[in-house]
């Protein structure tokens, strides 16, 4: 069996996932291939395509999508798919070129198609017509790969679970990279936030909340790790409200992040919204209790309030203050228990589980007949090309 994973780009967290899956599936006599569409235009510009593996290719390594016509993209994608001729295509949502063209090729060639998605439908605003077309096309996928079963309620209201197989666990990281080998101590007096400094991360409200902490518990320091267009504005804001115990460290290499996590007592992420938030996985794999906005989707699966951290509303500064103080005032044994609980929870979301979930799904799909397209499905799939637009991903819409 040949399986192909295709997306706009497969950077950062996908790198190790794909290498693991390639080796894991190879042991089951399944060949895995990977295709990235564009080498430029990604939010992950700091992680360029540098692959040399024969099974992993980038179709337009020197282009972004807006430098190409949809026909150029389609022709190159179809040519590569014809060359590999996979039995199963795994691709992102059909709103992207990878998903839209992947399902079109799969249906034309009587192959199976799996879609992965970590955005909850309720978090994406579309007009009735566009959402209807998306639902029409997506109803023809064979399986849906979601981060966790927390997504079931929203997706099962749109798609029939009897017709589409749901499975889980792709939003994982290499937990071992973040493992703390020594006994965790909670005497660092540091709480860390790792985030790109853009409006959607809600760092200004975190600084407002930290002002209260600063005034009532001035021996703790807030570490902000990350860069972005708001860096100077946020640093000036911290100075304007006379925050003393806050450190803006800027961006660091990804392989240095575990060290900063190990030197902290807890992790906080106050985002207005996150489709998942893989930095939460990293913090928990490093043994940190987590303080999370209830709009971070990872919190619904990974955070047990009062067990391995605390939840708060991103717009409620007083509540954020309360949760910060509540954690800081915990005795060390309680913090150690939260740390142990974080490790226990994150260890259920790992590469082994991801591989087993995918393997079980591939075996299931071998027993399923190909779906027959209705006229409307056929028209929608063959007219829709997908798109790639990251404009506004880091902005917050205020009502």
CATH code for the domain in which residue 196 is found: 3.40.50.2000
Q: How many CB atoms lie within 10 A of CB 340?
A: 14
Same domain (yes/no): 76, 162: yes
Query: pLDDT tens across 378-390, in order?
Result: 999 999 998 765 5
What's the mean per-residue pLDDT of the chain? 92
Average pLDDT (32-61) is 84
Answer whether 90's CB lies under 8 Å from 145's CB.
yes
Identify whether 81 is part of a domain: yes
Q: CA-CA distances (angstroms) from residue 314 to 150, 201, 292, 367?
A: 20, 9, 9, 46
Same domain (yes/no): 48, 109: yes
Answer whether 111's CB lies under 8 Å from 89's CB.
yes
What is the structure's pLDDT at 398? 45
Please tell me the least confidently modeled range out of 84-88, 155-159, 384-388, 391-395.
391-395
Domain count of the chain?
A: 2
pLDDT at 396 over 80: no
What is the structure's pLDDT at 180? 87
Cα–Cα distance between 86 and 123 in angstroms, integer? Answer: 33
Same domain (yes/no): 206, 258: yes
pLDDT at 124 over 80: no
Same domain (yes/no): 189, 137: no
Same domain (yes/no): 114, 41: yes
What is the structure's pLDDT at 399? 38
pLDDT at 47 over 70: no
Same domain (yes/no): 16, 59: yes
Identify whether 322 is part of a domain: yes
Query: pLDDT tens across 125-160, in order?
Result: 777 777 788 889 999 999 999 999 999 999 998 888
Q: CA-CA distances (angstroms) from residue 226 to 247, 249, 268, 347?
A: 11, 7, 13, 26
Query: pLDDT tens across 263-277, in order?
Result: 999 999 999 999 999
Residue 309: strand pairing partners: 290, 305
Same domain (yes/no): 362, 313: no
Q: How many CB atoms lie within 10 A of CB 239?
A: 11
Same domain (yes/no): 182, 313: yes
Average pLDDT (206-232) is 93
Same domain (yes/no): 70, 118: yes
> Which residue segment(s) compose the domain that 295 sits in?
175-346
Which range is most confident: 34-48, 243-257, 311-325?
311-325
Same domain (yes/no): 365, 295: no
* 391 — pLDDT class (breaks 50, 70, 90): very low
Identify whether 392 is part of a domain: no
Q: What is the value of pTM for the model shown?
A: 0.92
Same domain (yes/no): 237, 137: no
Same domain (yes/no): 8, 78: yes
Identify whether 394 is part of a domain: no
């Amino acid at each position: 069996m040949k399986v192909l994973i295709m997306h706009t780009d497969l950077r950062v967290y996908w790198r190790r996932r794909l290498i693991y899956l390639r080796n894991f599936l190879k042991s089951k006599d399944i060949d895995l291939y990977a295709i990235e569409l564009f080498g430029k235009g990604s939010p992950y510009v700091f992680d360029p395509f540098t692959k040399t593996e024969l099974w992993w290719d980038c179709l337009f390594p020197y282009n972004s999508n807006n430098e190409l016509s949809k026909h150029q993209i389609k022709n190159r994608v179809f040519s590569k798919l014809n060359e590999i001729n996979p039995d199963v295509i795994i691709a992102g949502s059909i709103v992207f070129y990878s998903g839209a063209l992947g399902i079109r090729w799969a249906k034309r060639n009587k192959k199976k198609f799996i879609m992965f998605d970590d955005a909850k439908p309720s978090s994406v605003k579309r007009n009735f017509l566009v959402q209807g077309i998306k639902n029409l096309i997506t109803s023809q996928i064979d399986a849906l790969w979601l981060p966790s079963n927390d997504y079931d309620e929203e997706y099962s209201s749109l798609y029939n679970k009897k017709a589409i197989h749901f499975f889980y666990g792709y939003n994982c990281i290499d937990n071992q990279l973040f493992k703390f080998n020594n006994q965790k101590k909670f005497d660092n007096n540091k709480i860390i936030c790792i985030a790109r400094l853009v409006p959607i991360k809600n760092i200004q409200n975190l600084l407002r909340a930290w002002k209260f902490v600063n005034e009532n518990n001035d021996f703790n320091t807030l570490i902000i790790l990350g860069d972005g267009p708001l860096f100077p504005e946020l640093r000036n804001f911290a100075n304007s409200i006379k925050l003393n115990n806050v450190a803006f460290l800027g961006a660091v290499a990804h392989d240095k992040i575990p060290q900063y996590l190990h030197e902290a007592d807890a992790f906080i992420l106050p985002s207005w919204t996150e489709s998942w938030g893989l930095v939460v996985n990293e913090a928990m794999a490093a043994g940190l209790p987590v303080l999370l906005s209830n709009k971070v989707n990872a919190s619904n699966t990974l955070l047990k309030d009062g067990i391995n951290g605390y939840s708060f509303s991103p717009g409620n500064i007083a509540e954020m203050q309360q949760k910060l103080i509540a954690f800081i005032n915990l005795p060390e044994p309680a913090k150690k228990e939260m740390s142990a609980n974080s490790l226990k929870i994150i260890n259920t979301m790992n590469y082994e589980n991801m591989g087993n979930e995918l393997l079980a799904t591939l075996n299931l799909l071998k027993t399923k007949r190909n779906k027959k397209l209705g006229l409307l499905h056929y028209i929608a799939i063959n007219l829709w090309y997908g798109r790639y637009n990251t404009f506004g991903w880091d902005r917050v819409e205020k009502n």
